[in-house]
Structure 1
Amino acid sequence: MALGLWCVCEEPPTHLQQAVLLREHLSRGRPPLRLTGVTALQLLDLPVPRGRSWVTALLRDRPAPHGPELVRHLDSFIHLAWDTARFHSRLPQLRISRSHGLPTVLGSWLAHLVDPVEALVVAAPMLDPWAITATLDALLSRGPLPRAVVATPTWTAPPPSRAPVHGVTRSSSGNLSTGGPSNPASKRGESAPLSRPRRSEPVVPVTYTPEIVRALLEPLPLTSHGVRAVSRALGRTAPRTWSPMETLVRLIVVAAGFPAPVMNVTVRTPYGTRHLDLGWEEEMVAVEFNGQVHSTDHAAYKDEMHRLEVLRDLGWAVRVLVYDDLVDPRRRGEWLTWLSRRLGPPRPRRTRRSSSPRARTRPSARDESEA
C-alpha cells in the first residue's frame, strides 16, 4: 500500500482498517492528516445510505450531482484532509482535500477524523438529500463523541531520519494496534491502541444538537454545495431516529401530507418498555419498519410478533412495513390510506416544479440490489 507500511493479522485488513493505518503512516514526519468524507463517517459508525432513484423522485428532491460515485468511494477509496500544508500522493485510492478547519474527533481505533459535520459536507455531493438527512438523524440521536480540544493539528518539522516503519497486530479482542518489529510488546503478543491521542490534545465529549450543527456550518463557505445541502437537510431531521429506514418512512409520511410523527415512542407494557418506530401518541397510531433481521432471525421474529400483539391489546393501531411497501406505488398507497383513516385526510401537497428527473414507479436494478 505504501513504503514502510505493513500489517500482520489473521485476515487481510478491511478497507477502513487500511484507511486508519495509511493515515497514521502518512502523518509520520509530516504535517498530520485527518480522515474525512465517507471514510470518516464510516469510522464514526454513522450511516451513509446509498442512492435510491425512486426515493429522490418520490420526495421531489434534486439527485446528488456525484451520486453514481458513492459505491466506489465507500468500498475502495480513502478520503484524507490536510490542515497546515498541502499534501499530494500518487496512490490511486486516495482522495486528499483541504480541511475546513473544524475540530478533530476520534473514531474507531482512535483514528483522527475531521468533525462529522465537515465530513458530511465533503461527502454531500455523493449523497441524495434524504440520505444526508438520515446521516444527520443518526448523528443527532447518538451519544457524545470524543472531540480534541485543539481544533486543528499542530506540527513541527522533525530532524531528517529514515522512513518510519509502521506495523499492526490483531489482539484477541479484534482491535487494531501498533507496534514495529522492534517493539517488545508486539513480540509478547500485547497491543496498544492505534492512533492514540496525543497528551497535548485533551479530549472532551460532545453531544451534537441542531444548534451545534448550525454553529459548525456557520464558518464554512455558503457557496459550497455540501454546506447548502447539509443546511437544508438539517431542517428535515427528527430526534430519536435510530435507523436510515426510519428516516425514509418519516419523510414519505410527511411528504404525503400527514403530521410529523414522534420517533421511537416509548410505551410501557406488562412485559417491559417498548419503542414504536413512528407514533402519533394522541391517536395511538404507529408505523413500524421491519428490516432484514426480522426475516433472518427467528428469535427476533417471535419477539416482534408478541410485542405487536401486546401493543394492540393496549389499544395501539400498528402497521408493519417492509421495503416493498415503500417502493411499490400500490402497496405504498394502501398503507398511506390506512394511515389517513386513523389520522384524518392528509394536507394537500403543494405543487411545485420537480428538480429531479421524472419519477419512476419501479426501482432500477441497482436500487433493488442495494435494498
Structure 2
Amino acid sequence: MRRVPALDLGEYPEVKPFADWGRRNEQLLRDPSMQSLARGLWVHSSEPLSPVQRAALLQRHLKTSKNFLRVTGLSALELLDLPIGETQSWVNPLLGHRAPEREAEFDAAMSVPHLSWHGNRIRTYAAGCRITKSRGLSRYYGPWGCFVAHPVEALVVAAPYLSMWRLIACVDALLSRRIVVEEKVPLRAFTAEVIGEALDQLPPSSPSVRRVRTALHAAYDQVWSPNETLTRLIALRHGFPPPRTNYHVAPRGRHFYIDLAWPESMTAIEYNGEVHYKNRSQYENENYRLQLIREAGWDVQVLVWRDLWDPEQRRSWLDFLARKLGPPTRKV
C-alpha cells in the first residue's frame, strides 16, 4: 500500500471576522485580495479561492462543539485526491454501464462546497454552499486542519454524480493508498472489509449505497491510476480473464511492477500517462524498464489514452490479448 499525499491546497490564507480587519465593509469589497467566506468572515488571498479551498475553510470556521461539521461529497473526495471526474460519452456504452442519475450536474456540484452536519443542525449565511445531514460515520483529519467525512460516506453522497467506472476507480484508490494529510497524519488503511463495514452502517436500500457496494465488488487493490482501472474494466468487459494488478517482477535483480499482468502466459499491459512523455528522464527510465521486462520473457503492450477511446486502436490491443490469452468469452 502506497503512502500518497492528500490534495495540496497551497499556503493557508488569513481568515478573520469583519471587525478584526479594521476596515469598512466597502473597503473590503473593493479590495480584490479580500474575499467573503461567510457573513462577517473575510479571507485575504491574492488568488480566488477554489470550491474545495472554500469547503476546507468553511468547515473550520463554521464548526461548533455541537454540530460535528465535516467536508463531504465531491468536495471531500477532491480533498483526499481521489480520482473523481467527468466520464466521456464513449465509456458507459463500452462498459455496459448506465449513466448516473445526476451526471449532467457534475460540473455544478464541483463548483459548490459541500458540508454535512451531525448533531445539531447548522444554519449559516454562507453563500454558494451546500449543507446536508451526515449519516454519522467517523470523520477524518484533512488538509488545512479541516475535517472530512468518512471517505465511504463521502463516496455515497457523491455517487449520483459519478459514473460506475469512476466509483470503481475511487474504491481502487482507497484499497491501494494510505492517504497522508498535512503534518504527516495518515488516514487508516481502507481494506475491503473496512469499506464493507462502513457501507453496512448506511441505508441498504439507498441506490447510492448499492452502487458503491457494486463498485467495491469490482475493485482491486494495488492500482495506481484511474486509467489502469479503465483499461482493466475494458479487458474484463471483453471477456478476458482477470489480470494481476501492479504485479511484481525482478529482471536482473531490478524490482518493477507491471500495471496489468497475466503471469501464466507472460502477458502484460502497461498504461503510460502524461508523465511518461512530458518528463524526459521518466521516458528514458520507462524504456529501460520495459526492455528488461521483455528480456525476461514478458510480452508487453504499451497503451496511451488514445488506445482506450479510439475503436481501431482499442481493437489492436484487444486482439493482442486474444492471441496471448486465447479467445475472449464474450464479444462487445
Residue ranges of structure 2 left out of the alignment (5+ in a row): 1-36
* TM-score normalized by the length of structure 1: 0.75
SS in 1 for 2:135: coil
Give the superposition deviation at 1:321: 0.6
**Cα gap change, 1:145 to 1:224, in 2 (>3 Å):** farther
Amino acid at match of 1:128: S
Count of aligned pairs between the two proteins: 295
Residue 115, structure 1, aligned to residue 150, structure 2 = yes
Partner of 2:12 in structure 1? none
Q: In the alignment, is the contact (CA less than 8 A) between 1:79 and 1:94 conserved in 2?
A: yes
In the alignment, which residue of structure 2 is the partner of 1:165? none
Separation in structure 1 between the aligned mates of residue 317 and residue 179 of structure 2, nearest angstrom: 36
Letter of the 2:116 counterpart = A
What is residue 172 of structure 2 aligned with on the other side?
137
Tell me how far 1:13 sits from its aligned partner. Answer: 3.8
Q: Secondary structure of 2:122's match?
A: coil
Contact preservation (8 Å) 1:34, 1:81: yes
Q: Which residue of 2 aligns with 1:328?
A: 310
Contact persistence 1:257–1:347 (CA under 8 A): yes
Q: Residue 206 of structure 1 is aligned with which of 168, 174, 188?
A: 188
Distance 1:114 1:292 in 2: 31
CA distance in structure 2 between the aligned counterparts of 1:322 and 1:215, rounded to whole angstroms: 36
The AA in structure 1 aligned to 2:205 is: T
**Residue 96 in structure 1 maps to residue 131 in structure 2:** yes
Asked if 1:222 is matched to 2:222, the reply is no
- Post-superposition CA distance 1:277-320 (Å, at most 9, x none): 10111211110111112222122111111111111111110001
The answer to whether the Cα contact below 8 Å between 1:133 and 1:234 also exists between their aligned partners in 2 is yes
Distance in 2 separating the partners of 1:29 and 1:284: 58
- Counterpart mapping for 1:247-286 below 5 A: 247-270=229-252, 272-286=254-268
Equivalent residue, structure 1, for 2:288: 306
Q: Is the 8 A contact 1:145 1:207 kept in 2?
A: no
Q: Identity rate of aligned residues, in percent?
A: 42
- Write out aligned runs for 1:347-362 (5 A): 347-348=329-330
Q: Give the aligned partner of residue 278 of structure 2.
A: 296
Which deviations, in whole Å up to 9, do the C-alpha atoms of 1:215-256 show, x marking residues without a partner?
A: 111121122121011011111001101111010000000111
What's 2:225 paired with?
243
Query: What residue identity is the alignment partner of 2:173?
Result: A
The structure whose residues are more often helix, as a share, is 2
Aligned equivalents of 1:261, 1:313: Cα separation in 2: 21
Map 1:101-180 to 2 at 5 A: 101-143=136-178
- For the residue of structure 2 that corresponds to 1:109, the secondary structure is helix
- Match of 2:43, as an amino acid? C
| Partner amino acid, structure 1, of 2:130 | R
**1:263 CA drift (Å):** 0.5
Distance, in Å, in 1 between the alignment partners of 2:292 and 2:117 is: 54
**Structure 2 counterpart of 1:100, one-letter code:** R
Partner of 2:323: 341
The amino acid of 1:113's aligned partner reads V
Deviation by residue 1:60-112 (Cα, 9 ceiling, x = unmatched): 111011112112322x2111101112234454421111101111111222321
| Structure 1 position 54, deviation (Å) | 1.0
Deviations 1:315-338, CA, capped at 9 Å, x for gaps: 110001111111111111111001
Cα distance change of structure 1 residues 208 and 30 upon mapping to structure 2, 3 Å threshold:
closer
Partners of 2:186 and 2:54 in 1: CA distance: 27
Map of 1:83 onto structure 2: 118
Contact 2:82–2:170, Cα closer than 8 Å, also in 1: yes
Q: Which moved more, 1:28-37 or 1:64-73?
A: 28-37
Structure 1's 208 and 22: CA in aligned 2 closer, same or farther, altered over 3 A? same
Contiguous gaps of at least 5 residues in structure 1: 147-174, 176-192, 194-202, 352-371
Amino acid at match of 2:198: L
C-alpha separation between the residues in 2 aligned to 1:270 and 1:71?
48
Q: Distance in 2 between matches of 1:3 and 1:48?
A: 31
Aligned to 1:186: none
- Deviating runs (4+, > 6 A) in structure 1? none
TM-score of the pair, normalised by structure 2: 0.83
Give the root-mean-square deviation of aligned CA atoms. 2.1
Give secondary structure in 2 for the equivalent of 1:257.
coil
